[in-house]
Amino acid sequence: MLRVGLTGGLASGKSFVGRALANLGCLLIQADELGRQVQEPGGEAYDGIVREFGREILTADGSIDRRKLAGIVFHDPERLKRLNALVHPPVHERRRKIEEDFARSHPDGVAVTEAAILIETGSYRDYDRLIVATCRPDQQVERAMARDHLTREEVLDRMRRQMPLEEKVRYADYVIDTSGPKEDTLAQTRAVYESLLSAKPRSLSL
């Protein structure tokens, strides 16, 4: 089984690319969804997060208000580090189990993990190939404003806190430019998929 990382920047099109790869036959694992699951009541990270950040982050039904939690850690690197220490290990374990189950039934399959900070955390090294979805900065701003209902200033603030896309592409085995029409992005994704089908895991190709 080939393990592929998929990353990009804020609203750079990585989720669109991920869905396209899934439609072509890849297993798609969305790290953000796993992160949401481990923070649900009964999830592996729930109790630790409530202890760390207090019950004021909970909604009326006892769920973690992820937007409120994000607001707490966004400007506080130390608290963000503590949150990541609670969330990332169980997310990693869930992803590993999903990959193992998929590998048993699809030994020649392609498992794609979509995550925002693969490069920043160094975990991109865990994958056989890395795809970076990119677009123009003005498109990131427009897409994020429309999708997340943020102001231009809020989007720009988030972008300033991320690794620039031009730096991320230096780590990529494949770059998919989502700036153009969706048909162009789908054609690029299809070409990457065809290449992945014949690719060998790093450990076997050395």
pLDDT of residue 74: 86
SS3 100: helix
Rounded-to-integer distance, Cα 188 and Cα 4, Å: 16
Please answer whether residues 190 and 24 qualify as being in contact, where contact means their C-beta atoms are separated by less than 8 angstroms: yes
The boundaries of every CATH 3.40.50.300 domain in the chain are 1-26+109-206, 30-107
Instruction: Report the CATH number of the 1-26+109-206 domain.
Output: 3.40.50.300
Rounded-to-integer distance, Cα 14 and Cα 35, Å: 17
Superfamily of domain 30-107: P-loop containing nucleotide triphosphate hydrolases (3.40.50.300)
Please answer whether residues 137 and 30 qualify as being in contact, where contact means their C-beta atoms are separated by less than 8 angstroms: no
pLDDT of residue 204: 44
pLDDT of residue 205: 40
| Tokens 């897409």, residue located | 143
**pLDDT, average across residues 170-198:** 98
| Tokens 């123009």, residue located | 136
Rounded-to-integer distance, Cα 154 and Cα 118, Å: 23
Q: For the purposes of burial, counting CB atoms within 10 Å of the CB of 135, is it exposed (0-12), middle (13-18) or buried (19 or more)?
A: buried
The answer on pLDDT for 203 being more than 80 is no
Q: What percentage of the chain has pLDDT greater than the value 70? A: 98
According to DSSP, the residues that pair with 174 across neighbouring strands are: 131
What phi and psi values does residue 83 have, to the nearest 5 degrees? Answer: -65, -45
Rounded-to-integer distance, Cα 20 and Cα 182, Å: 10
The rounded mean pLDDT for the chain is 95
The answer on pLDDT for 106 being more than 60 is yes
Rounded-to-integer distance, Cα 127 and Cα 113, Å: 9
pTM value > 0.85: yes
